[in-house]
Structure formats: structure tokens, C-alpha cells
A and B are shown apart, each in its own frame.
Chain A
Amino acid sequence: DVKVTQSSRYLVKRTGEKVFLECVQDMDHENMFWYRQDPGLGLRLIYFSYDVKMKEKGDIPEGYSVSREKKERFSLILESASTNQTSMYLCASRDAMNTEAFFGQGTRLTVV
């Protein structure tokens, strides 16, 4: 019954590394999202995509990029990881009618 799957639950990376976070959904949803979640700040939108190869910046896109080559897969890329990118990253998907959103299990990223 898994709907949205994130490639890793936990990641530890070094400062300056290029980091890829992968997300796959099996519901044929058009819209996919990447959020980060930090204590006291809640969920903040990094990027979203409404179609293959289409992307839009969210509230905090600096230091991140995304890729959507196939409808079911949405990747978040940290070009040069920094310690302030240590966070919980959550992927979500929703259909074009913007009804119910489904989230992955989250990736806890630690940058040392």
C-alpha cells in the first residue's frame, strides 16, 4: 500500500558533497513537492513540480535544485551540502485536481 517512497530514511554527508534525495510515487500524480521540516519552523516548501521537466521555486529554494525526468520520480539535489541543510526532508505528491496529498516517510539528512 506504499504510495510515496523516499530512497533513504537516514543520510550522513560531508560539507561540500553533492547530495541526491530521490522520491517515487505510484499514483500517477502530476504534482510533486519537496519540503524541509525543522523544529519551530514547521514545514517549508523548497520546490515543486506540476509536470515532467517543469519546476517552480517554493519558499526556500536557495542551495537546492530539482529534477523531474519521469512523472513518477522527483529528485532533490543539494549542489554543495552545508551544515545548515541538516534537516528532515519530506516528499509529497498530489493529483492535478489538488485533492489529497500523500507524503513519503521522510529522509533525515545530517551534514557534518
Chain B
Amino acid sequence: KQEVTQIPAALSVPEGENLVLNCSFTDSAIYNLQWFRQDPGKGLTSLLLIQSSQREQTSGRLNASLDKSSGRSTLYIAASQPGDSATYLCAFVSGGYQKVTFGTGTKLQVIP
């Protein structure tokens, strides 16, 4: 059974810092990995998708990497802004394609 751990559970940083969010998984037979952000009381917004054959994806100030051998994915946020404050979730599709396993999230606060 795929288990997904996100560390840290919460993070508070001053504006302008570069930061890394971590996601660890136990089953390396993944199909793809997706990073989401969730604002309080809202749905999930897709940030980046990495297929299992890829190592990383970039979108603006965001960079996500995937290392299946170590069972890790990281989300790098450059020059953080207060608008980046949200909960960040990673999700893996594995097994029979339909199975999606979510991490419990990292709650990020960027202080002006």
C-alpha cells in the first residue's frame, strides 16, 4: 500500500526566502506525481505534474523534482511571497492507474 509523508507539516518563513517542501512515498511503481496548493476552505489547484519518466518540471518560481529510487519528491519555491501562503499537497498515481494517494500536506505561511 502506498504511503505518502509530507514534512514539515507546517512552515513559516519570511518573504523572499527560497524554500523546499518534501514528499516521501513507499511504492516506487508510480505512474505520475502531482503537486497541488489548497487555500483555506477551497478546492485543490494543480501546480505541477511530473510523469514517472521525468525528473522535474518547472513553472515560474516553482520547480518540482522526482527521485523514484529514493522515494522522494521536492517542491522548490523561489523568492517566496505572502500570496504563496497555502497548504501544499503531493499526490501519486500508482498501482492500477486509478489509485491516487495524497499526502497530508504542508501548511506554508510567508510573512511579509
Contact = CB atoms under 8 A, between A and B. Distances in A.
* Overall SS of chain B's interface: strand
Contacts, number: 50
Interface in A68-96: 88, 90, 92
* Overall SS of chain A's interface: strand
A60 to B, nearest CB: 13
Leading 8 A-B pairs by shortest Cβ distance: A103-B44, A103-B43, A43-B102, A42-B104, A105-B43, A106-B43, A100-B49, A98-B97
A interface residue count range (under 10 / 10 to 19 / 20 to 34 / 35 or more): 20 to 34
Interface residues of B, number: 22
Interface string B77-106: 000000000000101010001101011110
Interface stretch (B12-20, B29-37, B61-69): B29-37
